[in-house]
Structure 1
Amino acid sequence: MKIQGKMFMWLSVFVLAMAVVYGVWSKEPAGTTALFLAFGLCIMIGFYLGFTARRVDVGAQDDLDADVADDAGELGFFSPHSWQPLSLAIGGAFAFLAVAVGWWLLYFAFPIVLIGIFGWVFEYYRGENRTQ
């Protein structure tokens, strides 16, 4: 994580320089503001990664002599057959379509999004007192 923190800190320096150059050269407030906000986001992520790197064990990416296999392992559990992302995508599509077509379409999008979120959160929940 240490190297990622340094990368974001260097990226924030670059974005800040580009924000100043862009602001002086173009005198356009929207793009200048967006670049300064991007600078703020880069600095926040860089500080977070640098702070977290001091509190966790050294990873393989921080070791110059590490092999690719040193960072191998389980990445997490990914549901192989979940239909919930499809429900969220359909609900999100209806919600964004509501901006173009009419706000009444949100009445149809909101329940679909809620069903997708509820289904995703409780997809593998089988009850607190469930016995085998």
Structure 2
Amino acid sequence: MKIQGRMFIWLSVFILAMAVVYGVWSKEPAGTTALFLAFGLCVMVGYYLAFTARRVDAGAQDNKNADVADDAGELGFFAPHSWQPLSLAIGGAFAFLAIAVGWWLMFFSAPLIMIGLFGWVFEFYRGENQNQ
């Protein structure tokens, strides 16, 4: 994780330099703002990765003499199949379509978004995945 944190920090320095150069040469506010926002996002991700690397054990990617097999094993818990993201995506698509077509479409998208959101959050509290 240490390497990824450094990569994002260096990427943020590069993006900051490009944002300043782009802003001075082009005098175009939208692209300059986008580059400064990208700089902020890279700083946040880089700081998070660097901060987390200090608190966790060093991984195989931090060891220069490590083999590929050193990183094998369980990577964590991943949720099983779920239909909730589909409901959330359809509701979100209808919500964005409501901006173009008409706000009345939001009455149909809001229940789909709420069903998807609550279903995804509480998915491990019911059914076959319920913790006992």
**Which blocks of at least 5 consecutive residues in structure 1 are unaligned?**
none
In the TM superposition, 1:1-132 aligns within 5 A as 1-75=1-75, 76-80=77-81, 82-126=82-126
Q: How far apart in 1 are the matches of 2:66 and 2:28? A: 47
TM-score by length of 2: 0.88
Structure with more of its chain in helix, by fraction: 2
CA RMSD of aligned residues (A): 1.8
- 2:5 is paired with a residue whose SS is helix
**Which blocks of at least 5 consecutive residues in structure 2 are unaligned?**
none
One-letter code aligned to 1:77: F
Q: Percent identity?
A: 80
Q: How far apart in 1 are the matches of 2:117 and 2:15? A: 36
TM-score by length of 1: 0.88
**Deviation of the 1:78 alpha carbon:** 2.7
How many aligned positions are there?
128
Which contiguous aligned blocks of 4+ residues in structure 1 show a shift greater than 6 angstroms?
none
**Deviation of the 1:74 alpha carbon:** 2.4
**Deviation of the 1:40 alpha carbon:** 1.7
